[in-house]
DNA sequence: GATAAACGCTACGATAGCGTAGCGCTACGC
DNA sequence: GCGTAGCGCTACGCTATCGTAGCGTTTATC
């Protein structure tokens, strides 16, 4: 007589939760609102997620789609492909804002921080393959410092998204990729 | 018989408000907490700031100290001076987190957004002088794109502060400045 | 030193979110 | 088909915050 919690109800509440967190952010994320939107009873939600933070993280996991690891054969191509794939996240006001809210929330709450460590790691890790591949091809110096590379790619992207997200066009991204390539290889 | 609202009470509540916003962030910022900490009656707080958001912005204005505009005579020196002056903001977990929270809050709330536009502009504007001076000295191309410059300086700084703030040492900052110089001038 | 303005204090009513209890209903599993 | 496990629903009690009213007290100004 073993019955598991229904996937149906779980899907409905997670779907609604994803919408809530996108629209009102981490601070405005409430169980009541998820219940209202999903049509799932609040009590049922608590049966699935005794701690609302778990549901928050689970919903974030749906919203933040991990980017595919590009493998075009060149660092130039991989960079452009990477920027293109993550662009939607940074162009969208909702998603970009959510991105920073998550970071801030994790900084404030150790519990959340731990829950999201895996979530972040699972997304950042594969991206590192871009640089490892480039190094294997000889496009990057063997003694290259990965964290520095990352911040020279993510940095300008984040910065631009904050101040003028509308500049994240095809052409804008291509120009960024070119500039990054120069910065990464000129040494 | 004209009496102004006392500077004393105002100072006390703003001082407390600054502490609150640093410690619990934008989301946790409440009038009650400011009243508790400052010892100023809640009613008095409302007399000074009918809208708590105004007090929030006023307290942010105290927390986010505008960096001085460096003028060392060289782009290299100005960059290093700039990074050094803003480092405390990005090294501190509290302040860095607050920085992102403010951005997110402004994105969610149009009213807050407008209130902080001036606050941000007053800090970003002067910094631009670094690049204008460099261009005047001939260190930067005459047709240089300022926003792109900014994102190549702020970007890596922000990115590093998020992933490994402990790397923002004297040496780390100096290396960043060098790298930025290369990125900005190699064209 | 009188007066009015600003402050302090208490106590509200209202709202919102939390997390749980109780109970009837539905549907899955044997 | 019977029983149990999961769901829906209502209704709690609790807490926190908001914004305000009323009233007494201090203090600056004239």
Residue A1 has pLDDT above 60, yes or no: no
Does B167 lie at the interface with A, CB-CB under 8 angstroms?
A: yes
Question: Does residue B6 or residue A142 have the better pLDDT?
Answer: A142
Q: Do A147 and B162 touch (CB under 8 A)?
A: no
Q: CB of A39 under 7 A from strand D?
A: yes
Distance B58 CA to C19 C1' (A): 36
> pLDDT over 70 for what percent of chain B?
97
Residue A150: band (very low, low, confident or very high) from pLDDT cuts 50, 70, 90 = very high
Q: CB of B156 under 7 A from strand D?
A: no
- For B14, residues 6+ apart whose C-beta sits below 8 A from its C-beta are B55, B58, B59, B62
Determine the nucleotide nearest to B41 by Cα–C1' distance: C8
B103: nearest CB among A107, A151, A162: A162
pLDDT digits (tens, 9 = 90+) for B111-127: 899 888 888 888 887 88
Q: How far apart are CA A54 and CA A154, in angstroms?
A: 28
Q: Do A100 and B96 touch (CB under 8 A)?
A: no
The answer to whether the beta carbons of residues A73 and A130 sit under 8 Å apart is no
Pick from B157, B160, B149, B151: which is nearest to B184 by CA? B149
* Mean pLDDT, all residues of chain A: 92
Show the tokens assigned to B8.
């004393």
Q: CB of B160 under 7 A from strand D?
A: no
Does B148 lie at the interface with A, CB-CB under 8 angstroms?
A: yes
Q: CB of A42 under 7 A from strand C?
A: yes
Distance B182 CA to C9 C1' (A): 63
Q: CB of A25 under 7 A from strand C?
A: no
Q: CB of B41 under 7 A from strand C?
A: yes
Q: In the prediction, which pLDDT does A43 show?
A: 95
Which of A20, A27, A164 best tests the B interface by mutation, with the highest count of B CBs <10 A?
A: A27
Q: How far apart are CA A168 and CA A84, in angstroms?
A: 9
In chain B, DSSP finds a helix count (H) and a strand count (E) of 10, 0
For the CA atoms of B153, B157, B162, B168, the dihedral, rounded to the nearest 10 degrees, stands at 170
Residue B151: band (very low, low, confident or very high) from pLDDT cuts 50, 70, 90 = very high
Three-state secondary structure call for residue B92: coil
User: How many A×B Cβ pairs under 8 Å?
Assistant: 98
Environment class of A95 (CB within 10 Å of its CB; exposed 0-12, middle 13-18, buried 19+):
middle
The answer to whether the beta carbons of residues B55 and B14 sit under 8 Å apart is yes
Distance A38 CA to C26 C1' (A): 19
Q: In the prediction, which pLDDT does B63 show?
A: 92
Residue B76: band (very low, low, confident or very high) from pLDDT cuts 50, 70, 90 = very high
> pLDDT over 70 for what percent of chain A?
97
Q: How far apart are CA A186 and CA B34, in angstroms?
A: 52
Q: In the prediction, which pLDDT does A2 show?
A: 43
Determine the nucleotide nearest to A8 by Cα–C1' distance: D7
Residue B145 has pLDDT above 70, yes or no: yes
Instruction: Tell me how close the Cα of B133 comes to any Cα of chain A, in angstroms.
Output: 22
A154: nearest CB among B93, B159, B164: B159
Residue of A nearest to B162 (CA): A103
Q: In the prediction, which pLDDT does B127 show?
A: 87
Nucleotides on chain D within 7 angstroms of protein Cβ: 3-11, 16-22, 28-30
């Amino acid at each position: 007589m073993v019955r598991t919690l229904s996937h149906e109800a779980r899907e409905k509440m997670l779907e609604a939760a994803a919408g809530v967190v996108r629209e009102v952010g981490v601070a405005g994320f409430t169980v009541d609102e998820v219940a209202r939107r999903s049509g799932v009873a609040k009590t049922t939600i608590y049966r699935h997620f005794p701690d609302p933070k778990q549901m928050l993280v689970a919903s974030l996991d749906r919203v933040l789609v991990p980017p595919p690891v590009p493998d075009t054969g060149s660092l130039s191509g991989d960079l452009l492909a990477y920027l293109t794939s993550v662009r939607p996240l940074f162009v969208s006001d909702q998603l970009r804002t959510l991105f920073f809210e998550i970071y801030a929330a994790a900084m404030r709450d150790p519990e959340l921080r731990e829950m999201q460590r895996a979530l972040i790691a699972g997304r950042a890790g594969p991206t590192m393959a871009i640089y490892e591949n480039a190094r294997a091809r000889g496009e990057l110096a063997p003694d290259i410092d990965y964290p520095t590379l990352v911040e020279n790619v993510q940095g300008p992207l984040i910065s631009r998204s904050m101040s003028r997200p509308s500049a994240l066009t095809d052409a804008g991204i291509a120009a960024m990729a070119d500039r990054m390539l120069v910065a990464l290889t000129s040494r």
